[in-house]
Amino acid sequence: MTNNWMRRQQRLGYIFIGPSMIGVLLFFLIPAAYSLGLVFTDYKFMNPNVGFVGFDNINRMLHDKLFYLSLKNTVIFLLAVPVSLALGFVVAVILNQRIYLKKVLRALYFMPYITSGVAVSFVWMLLFQPKQGPINGFLRAIGIDHPPGWLSTTTSSMFAIDIIWIWFLMGYNMIIYLAALQEVSPELLEAAKIDGARPGQMLRKIIWPLVSPTSFLLLVTGMIMTIKTFGIIQATTQGGPGNSTTILSLYVYQNAFRYYEMGYASTISWALFIIILIITAIQWIGQKRWVHY
Amino acid sequence: MLVLAIVMVMPFLWMISTSLKTPAEVFKYPIEWIPSNPTWEHHVKVWSGTKSFGTYYLNSLKISLIGTIGATFLSAFAAYGFSRIEFKGRNGLFMLYLSMMMIPPQVLFVPKFIMFEWAGIYNTHWALILPAMFTIFGVFMLRQFFLSIPHEISESAFIDGAGHFRIFFRLVLPLAKPALATLAIIDFSWHWNDYENALVFLIDENLYTIPLGLQNFILENMVDYNGMMAAASAAIIPMIVVFAIGQRYIIQGLTNSAVKG
């Protein structure tokens, strides 16, 4: 009887997760295995002669200057994550006080996060317009004679993308911090106040350590999300000027669907996966070590 | 705070105001926030030309709606299996499931492209709808919620002779309505804004979704700044409306899965 029941449970379990598992198999597992296989081929779109090339693609990647440039650009892109984190924290602390229009303010900060990345990319493209754009218009008005060229020069383009990305991510970080701040016990803060702690001290010594798990989580998930994105760059600069905004995810896309070098594109995509794996591993170890509960 | 919040929404305000200006007023400095002679002609152009945003809207709506309904239902189904039925290998399968979240979409683009081509769904809406039906985040989020439903509820139903299917449809789904709504709204916004997948899997212009249609419109009208901003408004405003209505759900869903996950 119990054995029968167990078997029924087992079967029902598979029935419930089955449809989802088939989807994961078809759209995640099989493609991932396929892609790993492509790393060792010279597969090009529409070319029926696929050859096994061993480690050639990996070798090529390790000697590809553009790969290293994309890696460097990816790192600069990632700088947006801690900056948006810090800003999100500050705004959350202020919004957590009893202030007017709290809900409206929260919504305004959060708005960029839910809007279409492509649409906002085009808006920023015009805002950043170097000669006549409103941002440089403002900078000239306050006395900066040679404002940056933003998306139009090789030195400033990646930082201009960072600004857009900080603007985009900040609201998300802010709402997650707000939720974390609400969990900080008011008694603790009250006690610290009685002991004579100043607001700055309370922030540094009590609130910041208490929300450190949240900071850590936002840092890691923000980095992974940032590494996977390329839409805003494809829409604004397509990696230019002169490859200065080509990040790894975009470089994969270009190799696959602009040059049809699908074997090579797969190789770079796995490099991307390895980076995500490393960040995730740091998260696993870090959770135990660095997070202050 | 209010000042900084206004800075945050300034790009949107500038977008809307520019879409109503004449070409000569676009880059006037100081910025004219309220155009002196507002005109709707750029918006009319976006909606009426040979490539109308109406088509893109219908395409996006179709893909996002079918994808979201499918994903919400299938996620709930799997989340029930992962949270309320005990079977061998459950935790291992769930870990495998979660680990799939680490795979960057770039790894999957090329093989999916080849597979879809082979299956004859490349350059059709199915290439976007079918994968959209499966969301690992959705299973994860709903599983969290289902775990919080007390076990006594299903136990008493078991005693009354109900099976898992009946408990799922009659008890758990109705209880999970807020969680389902949250997932549906978040999921919908992802599909509505999805650009990368559409970029890879669609070529025919009459199949384009809003992000692709917008890009197309803008690349063709690169000097028409007012038109660009009218088109961007068309792409953004529906999401702002959805957000205004479902704000509570979106924020709750994201914070629950981030803070307590």
Helices (H), B133-176: 136-147, 151-159, 164-166, 173-175
Of the ranges A194-208, B216-230, B246-260, which one carries the lowest mean pLDDT score? B246-260
Of B14, B110, B251, the CB nearest to A38: B110
pLDDT at A290: 61
pLDDT at A292: 54
Q: Could you report the per-residue pLDDT of B207-218, keeping only the tens digit for each?
A: 999 999 999 888
- The Cα-based distances of B67 to A8, A89, B59, B71, B152 in angstroms read 31, 34, 12, 6, 34
Is 90 exceeded by the pLDDT of residue B122? yes
Interchain contact, B81 vs A15, CB within 8 Å: yes
B11, A110 in Cβ contact below 8 A?
A: no
pLDDT at B64: 95
- Give the chain B residue nearest A38 (alpha carbons): B111
Q: Could you report the per-residue pLDDT of A167-213, keeping only the tens digit for each?
A: 999 999 999 999 889 888 888 888 888 888 888 888 888 888 888 88
Is 90 exceeded by the pLDDT of residue B229? yes
- Give the chain A residue nearest B194 (alpha carbons): A116
Is 70 exceeded by the pLDDT of residue A293? no
Distance from CA of B126 to the nearest CA of A (A): 13
Of the ranges A90-94, A274-278, A282-286, which one carries the lowest mean pLDDT score? A282-286
Chain B CB within 8 Å of residue A12 CB: yes
Q: Could you report the per-residue pLDDT of A232-257, keeping only the tens digit for each?
A: 999 989 998 999 999 999 999 999 99
- Give the chain A residue nearest B196 (alpha carbons): A231
Indicate the average pLDDT of chain A.
Answer: 90
- Give the chain B residue nearest A96 (alpha carbons): B1
Indicate the average pLDDT of chain B.
Answer: 89
Of the ranges B129-133, B205-209, B239-243, which one carries the lowest mean pLDDT score? B239-243
A24, B140 in Cβ contact below 8 A?
A: no
Q: Which residues of A touch B114 (CB under 8 A)?
A: 34, 262
Q: Which residues of A touch B12 (CB under 8 A)?
A: 111, 115, 123
pLDDT at B103: 93
Count other Cβ atoms within 10 Å, centred on residue A278. Answer: 10
Q: Which residues of A touch B229 (CB under 8 A)?
A: 122-123, 126
Distance from CA of A63 to the nearest CA of B (A): 21
Rounded to whole angstroms, how far apart are CA atoms B122 and B250? Answer: 32
Is 60 exceeded by the pLDDT of residue B83? yes
How many Cβ pairs within 8 Å bridge chains A and B? 265
Interchain contact, A9 vs B86, CB within 8 Å: yes
Could you tell me which residue, B160 or B121, shows the higher pLDDT? B121
Interchain contact, A175 vs B236, CB within 8 Å: no
Is 80 exceeded by the pLDDT of residue B253? no
Is 50 exceeded by the pLDDT of residue B261? no
Query: Where does the pLDDT of residue B157 fall: very low under 50, low under 70, confident under 90, or very high at 90 and above?
Result: confident
Distance from CA of B63 to the nearest CA of A (A): 16
Whether pTM > 0.80 for this model: the answer is yes
Rounded to whole angstroms, how far apart are CA atoms B2 and A261? Answer: 50
Helices (H), chain A: 2-24, 30-38, 56-62, 65-78, 80-95, 102-114, 117-127, 134-141, 157-182, 186-194, 199-202, 208-210, 212-228, 231-236, 248-257, 262-289
Rounded to whole angstroms, how far apart are CA atoms B78 and A55? Answer: 39
Rounded to whole angstroms, how far apart are CA atoms B175 and B185? Answer: 18
Query: Where does the pLDDT of residue A1 fall: very low under 50, low under 70, confident under 90, or very high at 90 and above?
Result: low
Q: Could you report the per-residue pLDDT of A77-130, keeping only the tens digit for each?
A: 999 999 999 999 999 998 888 778 888 888 888 889 888 789 999 999 999 999
Chain B CB within 8 Å of residue A128 CB: no
pLDDT at A159: 95
Rounded to whole angstroms, how far apart are CA atoms B94 and B147? Answer: 14
Phi, psi of B238 (to 5 degrees): -60, -40
